[in-house]
Amino acid sequence: MKSLAIVGGAGRMGQALGEGLTATGRFSVIGLIDEHEPRELFGGRWAKSLDDLDAGSLDAVVDFSSPEGVVHSATWCAEHVVALVVGATGLSDSQRETLRVASSRVGVVVASNFSVGAVLAERFAAAAAPYFERVEIIELHHDRKVDAPSGTSLATARLIADARRAAGQAPLVDPTTRFSVEGSRGADAVDGVKIHSVRLPGLVAHQEVLFGSPGEGLTIRHDSFDRQSFVHGVTVALDAVDTTPRFIDGLSSLIP
């Protein structure tokens, strides 16, 4: 049984992970790290910092907190040789570099989405991309998500662009030439692949990839209705990572 600390343990995602990972019977939550006291402790204890825990009692740290929190977790895990799984999004290039540096000392997994269904939807989108003339992405999340567009939509856009390039297709060119409201056509993520971000209460995490060609269309949609949908992917990551130095970028390589 692996012993874990969950950074951001008082938040909705941290509580969902504590519940879901404990329920598998394969993981023991030693500590929940948060400046606020968690509602449930799942057999562990509340601490305000990883520094308050005994590193020798931990096999891995799971961090879904914030980009700033991830930097501290990466530094701490590298220093104490504790494996790290990161699900926080909105990471800057320098923050991702901190993770890569940490991976020279210990195993690190970072992914924009830990839903297995979302990873498969990305694969399906990449497979479809060479066969359609145009594509746009709509990502929909709860209104407390502070970054836009989502990491999942950016990853999907890059996979689509890579697939189009491999097929010899040129970047997409927006046919719209007149705008009543600037920005109404979404953001150009890469090679003309547009992303539209929606933030509404009641949503969790949802994404549609819309393909179009003359006479036909294809929509690939994934929905996470509950944060428990991410637990399976986190267990996959925890099974794959240990103190062996390595950097695993994305969940896809861990799903055959």
Q: What is the pTM of this model?
A: 0.84
CA angle 103, 109, 111 (to 5 degrees): 135
CATH class as words, domain 116-224: alpha beta
pLDDT digits (tens, 9 = 90+) for 182-213: 999 999 999 999 999 999 999 999 999 999 99
Instruction: Please name which of 254, 211, 214 lies closest in space to residue 107, comparing C-alpha atoms.
Output: 254
- pLDDT for 256 equals 84
Report the pLDDT value the prediction gives residue 89, as an integer from 0 to 100. 84
Measured between alpha carbons, how far is 120 from 207 in angstroms, rounded to an integer? 12
Q: Enumerate the domain spans of the chain.
A: 2-110+227-254, 116-224
φ, ψ (nearest 5 deg) of residue 35: -70, -20
Instruction: Dump pLDDT digits (tens) for 67-79.
Output: 999 999 999 999 9
CATH of domain 2-110+227-254: 3.40.50.720
Q: Please report which residue ranges of 40-149 form alpha helices under DSSP H.
A: 67-80, 93-102, 116-128
- 90: pLDDT strictly greater than 90: no
Q: What mean pLDDT is predicted for residues 227-252?
A: 95
Q: Give the rounded percent of residues in the chain with a pLDDT score beyond 70.
A: 100
Active-site residue list: 141, 145
At residue 14, does pLDDT exceed 90?
yes
Q: How far apart are CA 172 and CA 215, in angstroms?
A: 19
Interhelix angle 231-240/116-128, rounded to 10 degrees, is 90
Bridge partner residues of 208 (DSSP): 138, 221
Task: Summarize pLDDT for 142-155 with one digit per residue, the tens.
Answer: 999 989 999 899 99
